[in-house]
Structure 1
Amino acid sequence: MVSKFIQMSATDISRLISSKQVSVYEVVSTHIEQANRINSKLNAIIVPHYELALKKAREFDKIKTVDFTKRPFFGVPFTVKESISVQGFPNTYGSYYRRTDIATNNATSVQRLLNAGAIIIGQTNLSELALWPECNNVLYGKTSNPHNIKYTSGGSSGGDAAIVGIGGVPFALGTDGGGSVRIPAAHCGVFGHKPSSRFVPMSGHFPLDKYYSHCSSSQFIARYFSMGLLCRKAEDLLPLLKVISGPDGNDLNVNSCFEHHQILNSIKGLKVYLLEDKFYPLLKRTSPEIIQNLRNVAFELEKEGAEIIPCNLPFLNDACDLWFDIMSNAKDITLDSFINNNHSIVIEVLRMISGRKRIMPSSLLLLLLDKVSSKNKKSYDQFWKVKNRLTVQINSYLNKKSVLLLPTFPTTAIKHNRSYLSPFDFLYAAIFNVLELPATSVPVSISKNNLPISIQIVGAHGCDHIPISIACYLEKLFGGWTLPSQIN
């Protein structure tokens, strides 16, 4: 029984604990053992909480009566992206300029998971300041893919994806501002979900952290960022989402009127808009393997009674441009202040050349791009004019009976440092941040070079249960997450 823990859903583990078939200590220690055994190769967990987690597990086993309706994940281990605040622990974002930072409180989502009984076993690695689709930073180094350590785990929540991918935890809490949950989930072959905007508070993470929450622009930016979930089993996505969602009085975007829906009993009658190829000039074309898997998924959904509608949505090109305008419309929050405390770019370049870098080349590239493109950025009024038009256009396709099927990323995981060769491919995922839509990355196959192949399902705003329902169906059909062969 113990050996099976690392392949079970959080929901199933909770059932075993609630029925006294296993102890919390058995569950937590087994996952820590698995995580610790392989972490030296991956560098996924960079702040272990192992001793504290085992202590908590022993304490939980002494509790005689537990209300599992209030603590549905009692005793279930998980990890947290290091940029999400966990009281008393590092909260550096992998940034040299925050290298001494310790969180003074728990992020809302972290506290809600703890209240639900889950146990943190560690904090995970990320791209510097959660700004790049490859997991690497000056403080902690790079995180590798559990299927092949020559490849990246993706970013920015790459540590979460890697540790879930090798069975170290059944789920993890990450953030998604431009695909940062879905891209690493796709690269590592796990399920990743970005909730609808205004559903889950961003409190305890940029821009609602101790540095920027007082800024007038923080609420505007927070609307397009999201706490997100990475799970090895699709069935955990919806119940975990229920735990972390809802107003907290701090993130003023969050709507108290969201409905919590159940998993669909059938996908018959759903319209599935199939988008196979790129919609922005700077994007890489979708690889043949991923296109073939999109078609395989569409074929199976059609057999189940869904209507497949191939489409070309040219207005998504404008959504790509609009994503880049989010930060430029934050008048009192700049990339310069966020990345390097307004230090000189020239000095940062000289430090990099001399081997004493304080920021990653990816961050430097973002600073330079921001300077070059600043004159072409939209004004606040122009931003909302385009945003409202795009909302009307996408809503003409997406509703309670339709979804969009497209790539999460145009290829499978790439080798380390290759993201610089094609830096805009994250936009396959990022456009749904600015469009505020729920999106789920779903593993469906393995490529010829033994890397996970994933696809993305996007639903209408507030209809998170629809892409998650399809994810659950596809998991049964295609197998979903599998433990990488080299560690079986």
Structure 2
Amino acid sequence: MALTGLSAVELSKLIKTKKVSAVEVVEVHLTRIEEVNPKINALCTVLHDQALLAAREADAAVRNNEELGPLHGIPVALKDLTPTEGVRTTRGSKLFTNNIPSEDALIVQRIKRAGGIIIGKTNTPEFGHKGVTDNLLFGPTRNPWNLDRVAGGSSGGSSAAVAAGLVPIAEGSDGAGSIRIPASMCGVFGFKPTYGRVPDVQGAFSSHSPFFHNGPIARNVTDAALLYDVMAGSHYSDPFSIPSSDDVLNSIDGGIRGLKVAYSSNLGYFQVDPEVEKACQKAAETFASLDCVVEEVDPGFDEELERDFMILWYGKLASMYGDLSDEEFALLEPKVQELIHEGKKMSAVEYVRANLAREKVWGKLLEIHNKYDLLLCPTTAVTAFPVEHGAPSVINGRSINPLIGWFLTYPFNLTGNPVSSVPCGFSGDGLPIGLQIIGRHLADEVVLRASRSFEQSTRYFEKTRVGEVHV
């Protein structure tokens, strides 16, 4: 298999044993980017010279028998929301066309210290505000499985890059499902850790209403655990950060025999395409074959969740960008302008009331996790839809909010629980379907272990390897 088809763990072993050089690894990925990225538009910035320089330094460290980090010589892509020293970071917005941060975010520092080589920045919608990746600067990111379809968002660039073999692993961020949505639509694995496990990159006091998480995107759970172990861990700069679990990578093969697992087809109020529901129901049955006790539940959530979540997003965007000059405001996408206008019309009481409503969600989820170790449900209600059509406004004949009504992810940004999206099947037209695995607060290792067990049982990750995508 070509180097671009190998996992990060496999590449790491080859580099450290001198069977392949870091320069070779970076060069083949840069060639892959040159060939494929024009078709899918996953990377908006490619760090060709910087990556090769870092690779040469990585090879020198191997030759000199220096201590090597867990990501030594591995190409990594970063989402264009994540500050990167000396590298343009646009946040998908014309407002930040020429923004060049003066320092790396903490997680970028950790990736570099672990030997990771930053090969580029990945496309994102403006400020990561929606589940589809396109913006006025770089245009749409397309799905490697079908170039006419969306990649999801807002970490669509990262997910498409991983699915297409442009990088083995990538970083994403998730404020409403932005890791899990594109992971599901691109047929890769995405993990949103417990809030605080990975120190925030946005600003400590802007990341909790709703909870904003950074996490790994990879073609398999093992690679995701490798990157998660590097990114996670408390730091004094983030007052909400918490210690990470010790060495998750070496615990994910422990199995899940005896776990109690709840399954919900729609979380009580979402409209879900029957094809997606069928695949996720079959996935839930797989957990029974893994010696888990599986029972269907109704979480008791209702459509008020959508309203409260949208109020929090209105307030967040309005507080950050509501005081722009008319000239600056005109640079924003019309939908972002609309969301900011809505936020500026809200009262403080409305905002706080929506924030307090999160306790209802937390309570209902706690009731489930008092009885069950895990909750399963679909990641998205539909598979990847055509780029030209935009997000669906109707599912099963029922009207939905095209901004957030087609993904079942945002309730868990109200609570901060650890959640993964793992490939669980394919639609009739060959598009990936994803399953969410939701764990108790702080049970990151259990979610990753369950994801790994499911992955090993179904082998869907083999079907989503680079050679299978249609680019």
Fold shared, TM-score > 0.5 on shorter chain: yes
1:424 to 404, 419, 422: 404
Bigger mean CA offset, 386-395 vs 115-124 = 386-395
Give the Cα–Cα distance (whole angstroms) in 2 for the partners of residues 28 and 339 of structure 1.
42
Residues 125 and 132, structure 2, Cα contact 8 Å, conserved in 1: yes
Give the Cα–Cα distance (whole angstroms) in 1 for the partners of residues 149 and 467 of structure 2.
14
Cα deviation 1:376-423 (Å, max 9, x = unaligned): 96353x456433343233122126961111011101111115226322
**Cα 1:334/1:60, change in 2 over 3 Å:** closer
Shift of the alpha carbon at 1:324? 2.8
Corresponding residue for residue 32 of structure 1: 30
1:225 to 203, 212, 220: 212
Shift of the alpha carbon at 1:447? 1.6
Size of the alignment, in residue pairs? 455
Give the Cα–Cα distance (whole angstroms) in 2 for the partners of residues 186 and 339 of structure 1.
33
Residues 147 and 484, structure 1, Cα contact 8 Å, conserved in 2: no
1:58 to 56, 59, 62: 56
**Cα 1:257/1:199, change in 2 over 3 Å:** closer
Q: Secondary structure at the match of 2:466?
A: coil
User: Which runs of 5 or more residues in structure 2 are unaligned?
Assistant: 394-401
Corresponding residue for residue 243 of structure 1: 230
Q: How does 1:347-386 map onto structure 2 within 5 Å?
A: 348=330, 358-370=331-343, 374=346, 378-380=350-352, 382-383=353-354, 385-386=356-357
Give the Cα–Cα distance (whole angstroms) in 1 for the partners of residues 310 and 247 of structure 2.
31
Corresponding residue for residue 399 of structure 2: none
Shift of the alpha carbon at 1:442? 0.6
Give the Cα–Cα distance (whole angstroms) in 2 for the partners of residues 336 and 9 of structure 1.
41
The one-letter code matched in structure 2 to 1:363 is V
Shift of the alpha carbon at 1:106? 0.3
Bigger mean CA offset, 271-280 vs 312-321 = 312-321
Residues 271 and 308, structure 1, Cα contact 8 Å, conserved in 2: yes
2:40 to 34, 42, 46: 42
Shift of the alpha carbon at 1:141? 1.2
Shift of the alpha carbon at 1:431? 1.0
Corresponding residue for residue 442 of structure 2: 462
Corresponding residue for residue 195 of structure 1: 193
Bigger mean CA offset, 131-140 vs 362-371 = 362-371
Q: Secondary structure at the match of 1:29?
A: helix
Residues 178 and 426, structure 1, Cα contact 8 Å, conserved in 2: no
Q: Secondary structure at the match of 1:34?
A: helix
Corresponding residue for residue 473 of structure 1: 453
1:415 to 382, 386, 403: 386
Q: Secondary structure at the match of 1:137?
A: coil
Q: How does 1:4-43 map onto structure 2 within 5 Å?
A: 4-43=2-41
The one-letter code matched in structure 2 to 1:418 is G
Corresponding residue for residue 393 of structure 1: 364
1:123 to 117, 121, 124: 121
Give the Cα–Cα distance (whole angstroms) in 2 for the partners of residues 48 and 148 of structure 1.
23
Shift of the alpha carbon at 1:84? 0.3
Shift of the alpha carbon at 1:312? 1.1
The one-letter code matched in structure 1 to 2:312 is I
2:158 to 160, 163, 173: 160
The one-letter code matched in structure 2 to 1:88 is G
Give the Cα–Cα distance (whole angstroms) in 2 for the partners of residues 473 and 256 of structure 1.
25
Residues 83 and 91, structure 1, Cα contact 8 Å, conserved in 2: yes
Shift of the alpha carbon at 1:306? 0.7
The one-letter code matched in structure 2 to 1:236 is D
**Cα 1:24/1:399, change in 2 over 3 Å:** farther
Corresponding residue for residue 82 of structure 1: 80
Give the Cα–Cα distance (whole angstroms) in 2 for the partners of residues 396 and 259 of structure 1.
28
Q: How does 1:296-315 map onto structure 2 within 5 Å?
A: 296-315=282-301
Cα deviation 1:140-177 (Å, max 9, x = unaligned): 11111111111111111111111101011111011111
Give the Cα–Cα distance (whole angstroms) in 2 for the partners of residues 272 and 7 of structure 1.
33
Give the Cα–Cα distance (whole angstroms) in 2 for the partners of residues 290 and 376 of structure 1.
39
Q: Secondary structure at the match of 1:122?
A: strand
Corresponding residue for residue 276 of structure 1: 265
Residues 146 and 162, structure 1, Cα contact 8 Å, conserved in 2: yes
Q: Secondary structure at the match of 1:142?
A: coil
Residues 268 and 299, structure 2, Cα contact 8 Å, conserved in 1: yes
The one-letter code matched in structure 2 to 1:156 is S
Give the Cα–Cα distance (whole angstroms) in 2 for the partners of residues 266 and 81 of structure 1.
32
Q: How does 1:178-189 map onto structure 2 within 5 Å?
A: 178-189=176-187
Cα deviation 1:273-315 (Å, max 9, x = unaligned): 11102534xx4x2112211111211222101211111111123
Give the Cα–Cα distance (whole angstroms) in 2 for the partners of residues 19 and 472 of structure 1.
26
Residues 264 and 465, structure 1, Cα contact 8 Å, conserved in 2: no
**Cα 1:411/1:339, change in 2 over 3 Å:** farther
The one-letter code matched in structure 1 to 2:377 is L
The one-letter code matched in structure 2 to 1:452 is P
Shift of the alpha carbon at 1:7? 2.0
1:253 to 192, 217, 240: 240
**Cα 1:365/1:149, change in 2 over 3 Å:** farther
Corresponding residue for residue 352 of structure 1: none
Give the Cα–Cα distance (whole angstroms) in 2 for the partners of residues 243 and 194 of structure 1.
14
TM-score by length of 2: 0.89
Q: Secondary structure at the match of 1:242?
A: helix
Q: Secondary structure at the match of 1:298?
A: helix
**Cα 1:114/1:246, change in 2 over 3 Å:** same
Shift of the alpha carbon at 1:35? 1.8
Give the Cα–Cα distance (whole angstroms) in 2 for the partners of residues 52 and 412 of structure 1.
37
User: Which runs of 5 or more residues in structure 1 are unaligned?
Assistant: 349-357
What value does the CA root-mean-square deviation take over the aligned residues? 2.5
Give the Cα–Cα distance (whole angstroms) in 2 for the partners of residues 327 and 304 of structure 1.
39
Cα deviation 1:307-342 (Å, max 9, x = unaligned): 1111111236454444334356x6xx6526427825
Give the Cα–Cα distance (whole angstroms) in 2 for the partners of residues 460 and 260 of structure 1.
19
Cα deviation 1:76-120 (Å, max 9, x = unaligned): 101001110110011211111222211110011111011000101
Cα deviation 1:115-139 (Å, max 9, x = unaligned): 0001011111001111111111111
TM-score by length of 1: 0.86
Residues 262 and 374, structure 2, Cα contact 8 Å, conserved in 1: yes
**Cα 1:258/1:322, change in 2 over 3 Å:** farther
